[in-house]
Amino acid sequence: MRITSFMIFNQLTRSLQRNLEEMSGLYNQVSSGKKINKPSDNVIGLMRAMDYKLSINDNAQYKRNIGEAEAHQDFTEKIMSSVSDALIRAKELALQGVTGTESAESRAAAAEEVTQIRDHLLNMANSKFRDRYIFSGFKTNIQSFNAATFDYQGSSGIINTIVDKGASMPINIPGDEAFSYFFSSVVHSSADPGNTGGADVTAKSISDRTALTFHKYEINFTAPTTYDVVDVDTGATIISGATYTSGSHILFDGLDIVISDVFSAPQAGDIFRISVNPLKPSTLNYSSDADITANISNHFDLTKDVYEVSFDGAGNYSVQNVNTGAVVATGVYVSGGTITFDGLDVIITGTVTSSDKFFVSSTELIQLDEDGKYAHYYPGTGTTINADIRDAYDTTFLDSFSFSNFIQMTDILSSALESNNISRIRALLEPLNNALDQVTNVQAGIGARLNRLDDQTNRLDDSTLNLKTVLSNTEDADLTEVFSEISKTEVALEALRRSVAEVLSQSLLDFLK
Amino acid sequence: MSLFGLFDIGKSALFASQTALSVTSHNIANANTPGFNRQEAILEITSPVAVKGGYLGRGVTIAGIKRYYDRFIQSQLLGQYQNYGRSYALNQALSQVEQIFNEAGDTGLSASLTDYFNAWHDVATNPEGQPQRIVLIEKANTLVFTAKRMEQGILENLSQTNENMDDIVDRVNSIASDIAALNGKITQIEAGLKSEKANDLRDQRDNLLNELSNLVEFTSYEDKNNGSLTVMVGMRNLVYGEKTNTLSIKVNEDGKNDLYLDGINITGNITKGQLGGIIAVRDDIETNTLGRLRRLIASLTKEINILHSAGYGLDGTTGNNFFNPLQLSTRDFSPGADITATIADISQLTLDEYNITFDAASNYYVYNKQTGALVTSGAYVSGNPITFDGIQVVITGAITSTDRFSISPLTDAIDNFGVAITDPQKVAAASSDADLPGDNSNALNIAQLPDNAITDLGSLTFMDYYRGIVSGIGSMSNAASNSLKFDDNLLSEIENRRESISGVSLDEEAANLIRFQRSFEAGARMIKVTDELLQTILNL
């Protein structure tokens, strides 16, 4: 090939240019510390880097959220343990108060202390964290409990925070949850025997115990896809003309009911009955020989009332509703025979005498003392608990009280101590125990949340560390490599410059003198 | 043959050497002139005379001056210049746009976007807090600013590209008239001659062609009879003989420059050269980059506004848009009718663009521009609303079958993009006014929006869709810079081959200089010897 000076010159300048370009790219990597300096440097790499950066940012945000949630839980945890201490002290004072050796004066002194416990509980329940009332649900600007009536004033709102992609966690406990308890109850349901459709209740649960009314409900299908929900106790239609789809949740008054097409769709006129009741009825036995067991035969016929089973000398039994005075069943007593009334099946075995008595209720009955006093606890709306104290032998109504939360409960305890009302103090022992259980549950819940937050923090830290490593591998320049590359290029550039000097200075003209 | 004949032989040697020296000097002088083809004096034996006993030579003569020129390489060179020009224009535009999407640093849109959603997280953690709400509005403003800056950057790039087109077209026209002028001179000089004689003029013309091929795709052919060159761009004549047609630019209805030659729109026929590159890249940038960026912002506006307006601010108000609501822009290609388009139901909006056309029977047809699908059609009644995909259109006036309207929710998406909320109280963190101020559930919904697959974005998340835009521009820019390197190498290869044949080697010319100097000296000596011979005879 014929070579001209222009070709040589061109070749050399191009090589120089290429080397300088490479050099500039390498210097760019050194100055930025990155091997990807613009999208076209490495499209795939940049896409990955963007993805990693996004995840690292997300993790950082989740960790910030978790930090906030943790601070919240720690604070709540401290309050609940203080609440627990206060309730333990209240229980000690109540136990002292029921001892016969105590005097009215010493009970009055205890009343003073319980009043202080009540105020302490109120203060705790109205705690503020970062200027928010933490037990007020969503109403964080309103005192959680009324200072005069001790009624809950917040909402049942659960404040969530996002702790991971698609995962959120509650950070608060509404005050009516934290400072009250309720009887362990279940949701009962039954399909009307006359239903012509093939649908049934496939799931039922309590979604918000603070909203429960303990009423009975009927879900009436007016058409295969339309239903009403009627509160049987008040006669009010709570939900009217709602559209039914199989498997959808029907929510009302703190209940979550799912009806599905088990065999086929429901038909117009189909009825489903819902009620909330205790698992088992409770009984009191005032007999020397006989035993009693009671079961629920029909949840929808249950009342919250107490029933007294008594016997005459002729071997007949009689069941009387203590609350209404109505006699609901009579008959000849047969040991082991079933007596059915108001949704209950009662079976009494053994020998009975005319002085024997039994008390049965679908709600809770507790014997208070040997004199025959007993307490009947039954739920009101939401977290309200009612208590009646009666005498078993003359079935007279002695006393009643009700409370919705621990503050109100200690308030009643304080006044009972003050007024030397021993049977009321005694009747409060059971609620005090339940309250302590509830506080322990809340504490366990917070502990579980803290554990989960802790695990999540660790997971996020691990993930961030991994992501940072892969991000660095993807976009960071390996400086050792870059510098060795730079020296290599420098050597090549040097050699090139020398040869340019050599080649370009040579010409035949130089030799023709 | 007389002794004087020797003078003639000497003289012919002197003349030949002198001419050869001139050619060599011309070569040396033009060693660095672009497009110059090396020349050589062709020496030829002068026809001999018959003498007794045979033929006697009468010296040397110059048969011609040859140009070292390879037609094949030249045409390869023209083709490669066209490729190179295209790659150059692509690389030029894309490397600039790429910088706008430079996510390699930490300043791109993704940073603003994540900051914005992080601010929602912080509002969710502190729904009552004023500072978090103020920060959110600040971050939203930054996001708006970033998006606007990016759109501005792309639009500036596009308008620069358009201006470049003006400059290139001017240069093409000036080259065309130069070529036409050279055509005239070449035909004049070469008239009646069998071979190409106008070496330097042809070099000039070839050089102009090289430059032209860098600018625009063309084909050319030479009239064998008179050496005149015809240049065709987009199958129309640019130069024919001594005449030219002017390449001109007209702005079309989309606001883009179209190329016209000889009254015909040739834009679609030009794929190579810098003009070809510009035409390709501006469409690419507009649909793939700008269009998708606008779609992203439109989708963000839509999704955030839907969620936000369902929520409640601390002041209990609801139905507030967080960003300025999306607006439809319409284009009216009808002399007699007018169009107004409004968003009837934002949640049904697909973020696609639509064309409305009419037939001779006064029926209207609404087509989705993106999918090409017929969305709805019916009989046109002036003033009757046409509703489709969440859009309500009212057209009034007389229409003809050539009338056309287009509707776009994207065109102004970034232009109108702005934070509608100024009062931090109105940031809707709550889902119900009954649960103020602690309810954060709406803020949570919005904070989790980036995790959701968005239907309008092809079921991608905001960030995935944006990554798609960046990777698109990155890949295009990468491909452009690779093909520029490739075309540059190939060009240099072909130039080397041309140089190998046509280039001036100074060493070679130096050798020729000596050679012809010596032959000139020898010729002179011959005359001197002849003179001495004549002296000898005269002194007899």
Per-residue pLDDT tens over the stretch B301-341: 999 999 999 999 999 899 999 999 999 999 888 888 899 99
Q: What is the pLDDT of residue B51?
A: 83
The verdict on A45 touching B (C-beta cutoff 8 Å) is no
Q: Which chain A residues in 115-134 lie under 8 Å from chain B, judged by CB atoms?
A: 130-132
CB atoms within 10 A of CB B252: 10
Q: What is the pLDDT of residue B445?
A: 93
Nearest residue to B111 (alpha-carbon basis) of B146, B78, B161: B146
Q: Rounded to whole angstroms, how far apart are CA atoms B326 and B343?
A: 8
On whether the CB atoms of residues B505 and A2 are closer than 8 A, the answer is: yes
Is residue B158 scored above 60 in pLDDT? yes
Q: What residues in A contact B460, CB-CB < 8 Å?
A: none
Is residue B290 scored above 70 in pLDDT? yes
Q: What residues in A contact B99, CB-CB < 8 Å?
A: 38
Q: What is the pLDDT of residue B521?
A: 92
How far B314 CA sits from the closest chain A CA (Å)? 11
Please judge whether B95 and A40 are an interchain contact, meaning their C-beta atoms are less than 8 angstroms apart.
yes
How far A139 CA sits from the closest chain B CA (Å)? 5
The verdict on A513 touching B (C-beta cutoff 8 Å) is no
Block residue for tokens 């119900």: B432
Amino acid at B202: R
Q: Rounded to whole angstroms, how far apart are CA atoms A410 and B239?
A: 106
> Which of B437, B467, B501 lies closest to A141 in CB terms?
B437
Beta-carbon-side half-sphere exposure of residue B7 (alpha carbons within 13 Å): 7
**Distance (Å) of CA B482 to CA B76, B87, B91, B479, B531:** 21, 9, 9, 5, 71
CA torsion angle A352 A354 A355 A360 (round to 10): 60
Please judge whether A136 and B492 are an interchain contact, meaning their C-beta atoms are less than 8 angstroms apart.
no
On whether the CB atoms of residues A230 and A218 are closer than 8 A, the answer is: yes
Amino acid at B229: L
Q: Which chain A residues in 135-154 lie under 8 Å from chain B, judged by CB atoms?
A: 136-141
Nearest residue to A317 (alpha-carbon basis) of A304, A331, A298: A331
What digits encode the pLDDT tens for the residues B164-192?
899 999 999 999 999 999 999 998 888 76
> Which of A11, A54, A65 lies closest to B110 in CB terms?
A54
The verdict on A487 touching B (C-beta cutoff 8 Å) is no
**Distance (Å) of CA B176 to CA A163, A434, A491, B281:** 69, 101, 48, 25
CB atoms within 10 A of CB A75: 16
Per-residue b or e along B140-164, where b marks 16 or more CB atoms closer than 10 Å to that residue's CB: bebbbebbeebbebbeebbeebbeb
DSSP string, B452-488: SPBGGGTSB-HHHHHHHHHHHHHHHHHHHHHHHHHHH
CA B285 vs. chain centroid, Å, equals 11
Which residue stretches of chain A have pLDDT < 70? Answer: 395, 512-513
> Which of A4, A43, A132 lies closest to B128 in CB terms?
A132
Q: Rounded to whole angstroms, how far apart are CA atoms B440 and B453?
A: 22
Question: What angle do the packed helices B462-502 and A5-32 form, to 10 degrees?
Answer: 160
How far A47 CA sits from the closest chain B CA (Å)? 6
Question: What angle do the packed helices A479-505 and A5-32 form, to 10 degrees?
Answer: 160
Distance between first and last Cα of chain B: 20
> Which of A5, A46, A159 lies closest to B438 in CB terms?
A159
Nearest residue to B103 (alpha-carbon basis) of A58, A464, A42: A42
* Chain A, nearest residue to B446 by Cα: A162
φ and ψ at B42, to 5 degrees? Answer: -95, 115
Q: What residues in A contact B478, CB-CB < 8 Å?
A: 39-41, 43
Please judge whether A162 and B122 are an interchain contact, meaning their C-beta atoms are less than 8 angstroms apart.
no
Q: What is the pLDDT of residue A513?
A: 60
Q: What residues in A contact B437, CB-CB < 8 Å?
A: 138-141
> Which of B104, B122, B128 lies closest to A38 in CB terms?
B104
- Residue of A40, A46, A162 best to disrupt the B interface, most CBs of B under 10 A: A40
User: Helix or strand or coil: residue B413?
Assistant: coil
Q: What is the pLDDT of residue B56?
A: 84
Burial of B314 (0-12, 13-18, 19+ CB in 10 A): buried
Beta-carbon-side half-sphere exposure of residue A309 (alpha carbons within 13 Å): 33
Q: Rounded to whole angstroms, how far apart are CA atoms A366 and A388?
A: 10
Going by pLDDT thresholds of 50, 70 and 90, the confidence category of residue B365 is very high
Nearest residue to A350 (alpha-carbon basis) of A401, A403, A299, A292: A292
The verdict on A418 touching B (C-beta cutoff 8 Å) is no
**Distance (Å) of CA A247 to CA A219, A244, A261, A270, A355:** 15, 9, 8, 16, 54
Is residue B1 scored above 60 in pLDDT? no
Burial of B539 (0-12, 13-18, 19+ CB in 10 A): exposed
Q: Which secondary-structure segment (H or E) carries B493?
A: helix B462-502
Q: What residues in B contact A137, CB-CB < 8 Å?
A: 435, 438
> Which of A37, A162, A512 lies closest to B121 in CB terms?
A162
Q: What is the pLDDT of residue A370?
A: 72
- Which two three-digit tokens encode residue A474? 């993807």
Please judge whether A132 and B507 are an interchain contact, meaning their C-beta atoms are less than 8 angstroms apart.
no
Please judge whether B435 and A137 are an interchain contact, meaning their C-beta atoms are less than 8 angstroms apart.
yes
Is residue B196 scored above 70 in pLDDT? no
CB atoms within 10 A of CB B203: 20
Burial of A289 (0-12, 13-18, 19+ CB in 10 A): exposed
Q: What residues in B contact A509, CB-CB < 8 Å?
A: 506, 510
Here the contacts of B18-24 (C-beta below 8 Å, separation 24 or greater) are: B18/B520, B19/B62, B19/B65, B20/B62, B20/B512, B20/B516, B20/B519, B21/B513, B21/B516, B21/B517, B21/B520, B23/B65, B24/B509, B24/B512, B24/B513, B24/B516
Q: What residues in A contact B504, CB-CB < 8 Å?
A: 4-6
> Which of B114, B467, B478 lies closest to A40 in CB terms?
B478
- Residue of A28, A29, A138 best to disrupt the B interface, most CBs of B under 10 A: A138
Burial of A400 (0-12, 13-18, 19+ CB in 10 A): middle
φ and ψ at A402, to 5 degrees? Answer: -150, 155
Please judge whether B439 and A138 are an interchain contact, meaning their C-beta atoms are less than 8 angstroms apart.
yes
φ and ψ at B175, to 5 degrees? Answer: -65, -40
CA A273 vs. chain centroid, Å, equals 27
Amino acid at B99: Q
Per-residue b or e along A247-278, where b marks 16 or more CB atoms closer than 10 Å to that residue's CB: eeebebbbbebebbbeeebbeeebbbbbbbbb
Query: In this structure, is the dihedral angle defined by the CA atoms of residues A268, A269, A270 and A273, taken in order, positive or negative?
Result: positive
DSSP state at residue A145 = B
- As a whole number, mean pLDDT of residues B450-459 equals 91
Q: What is the pLDDT of residue A345?
A: 92
Q: What residues in B contact A38, CB-CB < 8 Å?
A: 95, 98-99, 102, 104, 474, 477
What is chain B's mean pLDDT, rounded?
A: 90
Amino acid at B232: M
DSSP string, B11-39: HHHHHHHHHHHHHHHHHHHTTT-TT---E
> Which of A11, A36, A137 lies closest to B104 in CB terms?
A36
How far A181 CA sits from the closest chain B CA (Å)? 24
